Amino acid sequence: MRGYVLKKVGWSIGTLLFVVVFNFFLFRLLPGDPIGLYTRGRNMSPEQLIRLRQQLNRPIGEQFVEYLANPFASAINSTRFNRPVWEIIGERVWPTVLLVGTAVLVAAVAGVWLGIRSGWRRGSRFDRITTGTTNTLYAMPEFWVGMMLIMWLPFFPSGGINSVGVSGFFATAVDTAWHMVLPVTALAIVYLAEYTSIMRASLVDELRQDYLTLARAKGLREDLVRRRHAVPNALLPTMTLIFLNLGFVIGGAITVEYVFSWPGLGLLTAEALRGPDIPLLQAVFLLFSLGVIVFTLLADLLYAVLDPRVSTQ
Amino acid sequence: MTAITWQRRRATASRFWADFRSHRSALAGLGILLFFGLVAVFASVLADPAGLDVTKATAPAHAAPSADYWLGTDQNGRSVLTLLIHGTRVSLIVGLAATAIAIVIGTIVGIMAGFYGGWARSTLMGFTDWFLVIPFLPLAIVMATVLGASLLNIVIVIGVTSWPGTARLVCAQTLSVRERPYMERARALGGGDWHQMTRHILPNVMPLVLAHVVLTVSVAILSETTLSFLGLGDPTRPSWGYILDNAYGTGAMSNGEWWFVLPPGLCVVLVVLAFTLVGRALEVVLNPRLREGS
């Protein structure tokens, strides 16, 4: 177990280094004048510009070492908001966590339920309809689903997180929930397809196992065979995959947040594109990659806890 | 080639087709793809490309569907149907070209890693794993911003960001092919690395890659739509995502202009779904172990 944890943590640190290095060099590949891109639309004195230019004219190795020392402390402000990038990002994290967390929760519960029902009666009418529907939902771009929802359900708010003039904790919470209905639905519809097919596939994998035959031979009711034996085992890979997906899900919220003007990291990314606001984009990209690495590590560790066989292999 | 070889190949092909034909959903997918393929090829015949030019648009902006404009017009008075027809071409080209790049990179990395094994494999696969970790959409967005908006750049961005899956698949398959007796025979007869990789491993890995290719195309088309929607596409080559971007940007949803929002999305869904159905069926036909309920 200890060796397994060390191996996984070591791999995560290696990946983190790669992402930081990649992040550094990717933005050094920019065509054109980097000073022009970094300072577009801002008033800067000539001395400041010269200092900035000197900074960027130093040997690339020196710049890299400096960047490695603290990638989270960007000396240069966001060009769009004219504030330190990490300060802006800090404000935007919670709306995204709220939106994505709710959508994943709704989609996971519904997806697991649908997956169990269709996987257990494989080939039935219900299974065929569910599989066809999930295939179709899977093919839909999230933002298009969002646009259709806005168009056809106009009584729900189409953007933002709160209406103007709402105050008080309780009223704000209700108002936020009201604003969340459409974006959560749009995200959940697409994730639902993914989770249903994962759960269905894991359950189908379990169907041929000997322990199910044994459970039936003991005389257990079909219902109990499913609930007590098949589903817990099938849930194992599903839980890990849902967890593993969490890191990517945050990146996937970009277009939905953009469509619904949801003030989270996704909308921030879309805003950083207009310009483009390079320092902000760089920081957001680093954060998204970091999210995936952390959730991958957590999923690996969770799996080892849930299924001890993994760590002893 | 001798006649026997060809006879054997014909028999394999017809068996393959018979297997494939038994999947009704895959046939439907193939039909949809054929339809969109024809639309893409004959786009200029179906709709005059001059209709894409903003300066030549004569119709009123945001017009509802009429006899002249079956799917109404966009914010510049261009026919949505014309945009849609020419968008088919862009979406399919980007999807196919990006997939080609991804498959070439993925296959080379995968075969090298699987064939040489040892530290070559750990290095190459470690690199692949790293790329798998980087979230796809943010990476594509950053790259598209860095490279600038053009059709070629979109193809490069999507191709370069979607190869890791292929590499892993090819590597795993190469590892199993490498141990087969005919590989030993090839080595005993003095076949070099290049000969072994291209004449023995590649043909045996290709069938599985084929199914994966088809699934990759569907993802590539979805990515193209997303990037264009975020304004990173080529503004001179309107794609389906570009139409949706315009619809969103000019408030088509709040005005209830369904003809502006619904059709491009439906096209995306149909094409992506068709590629997915064909890809899944190919997987089952080519890899009987995946067949459920035997």
Q: Which residue has the higher pLDDT, A235 or A75?
A: A235
* CB B115 within 8 Å of CB B193: yes
The count of structural domains within chain B is: 1
Q: Determine, yes or no, domain membership for B61.
A: no
* Encoded amino acid at B136, one letter: F
Q: Determine, yes or no, domain membership for B14.
A: no
Q: Do A154 and B254 touch (CB under 8 A)?
A: yes
In chain A, residues 95-154 whose CB comes closer than 8 Å to chain B: 122-123, 132, 135-136, 138-141, 143-144, 147-148, 150-151, 154
Neighbours of B71 (CB within 10 A): 20
The whole-angstrom distance between A195's CA and the closest CA on chain B is 17
Q: Determine, yes or no, domain membership for B63.
A: no
What pLDDT, on the 0 to 100 scale, is given for residue B237?
84
Residues of A in contact with B241 (CB under 8 A): 141
Q: Do A288 and B145 touch (CB under 8 A)?
A: no
For the cut 70, the answer to whether the pLDDT of residue A35 exceeds it is no
What pLDDT, on the 0 to 100 scale, is given for residue B294?
41
Q: Determine, yes or no, domain membership for B235.
A: yes
Q: Determine, yes or no, domain membership for B36.
A: yes
Q: Which residue has the higher pLDDT, B7 or A244?
A: B7
Q: Determine, yes or no, domain membership for B102.
A: yes
How far apart (Å, rounded) are the C-alpha atoms in residues A71 and A90? Answer: 15
Q: Determine, yes or no, domain membership for B11.
A: no
DSSP A74: -
Cis upstream peptide for A276 (omega within 30°)? yes
The whole-angstrom distance between B15's CA and the closest CA on chain A is 25
How far apart (Å, rounded) are the C-alpha atoms in residues B216 and B209? Answer: 10
In chain B, which residue's Cα lies nearest the Cα of A281?
B142
Look up the domain containing B214 and give its range.
26-42+73-290
CB pairs < 8 Å spanning A and B: 128
Distances (CA, A) of A24 to A60, A163, A244, B83: 10, 40, 26, 39
Q: Whole-prediction pTM value? A: 0.86
Each of the 294 residues of chain B gets a pLDDT tens digit; together they read 578 888 888 888 888 888 888 888 889 999 999 999 999 888 888 777 777 777 776 777 777 777 777 777 777 778 888 888 989 999 999 999 999 999 999 999 999 998 888 888 888 888 888 888 788 888 888 888 777 778 888 898 899 888 888 898 898 888 888 888 888 888 888 888 888 888 888 888 888 788 888 888 998 999 999 989 988 888 888 899 998 998 888 877 778 788 888 999 999 999 999 999 998 888 888 876 666 544
How far apart (Å, rounded) are the C-alpha atoms in residues A150 and B252? Answer: 10
* Encoded amino acid at A183, one letter: P
Residues of A in contact with B133 (CB under 8 A): 15, 19, 289, 292-293, 296
Strands (DSSP E) found in A176-269 = none
pLDDT band at residue A34 under the 50/70/90 scheme: low
The lowest-confidence range among A109-113, A122-126, A229-233, A240-244 is A240-244
Quick: pLDDT tens for A259-312: 998 888 888 888 888 777 777 888 888 888 888 888 888 888 888 887 777 766
Q: Determine, yes or no, domain membership for B13.
A: no
Q: Is B153 on the interface with A (CB under 8 A)?
A: no
The CATH number given to whatever domain includes residue B150 is: 1.10.3720.10
For the cut 90, the answer to whether the pLDDT of residue A110 exceeds it is yes
Q: Which two tokens stand for residue B247?
A: 């619809």
* Encoded amino acid at B18, one letter: A
In chain A, which residue's Cα lies nearest the Cα of B256?
A151
What pLDDT, on the 0 to 100 scale, is given for residue A85?
77
Distances (CA, A) of A31 to A261, B19, B27: 30, 51, 46
* Encoded amino acid at B233, one letter: G
Q: Do A151 and B261 touch (CB under 8 A)?
A: yes
Q: Do B142 and A31 touch (CB under 8 A)?
A: no
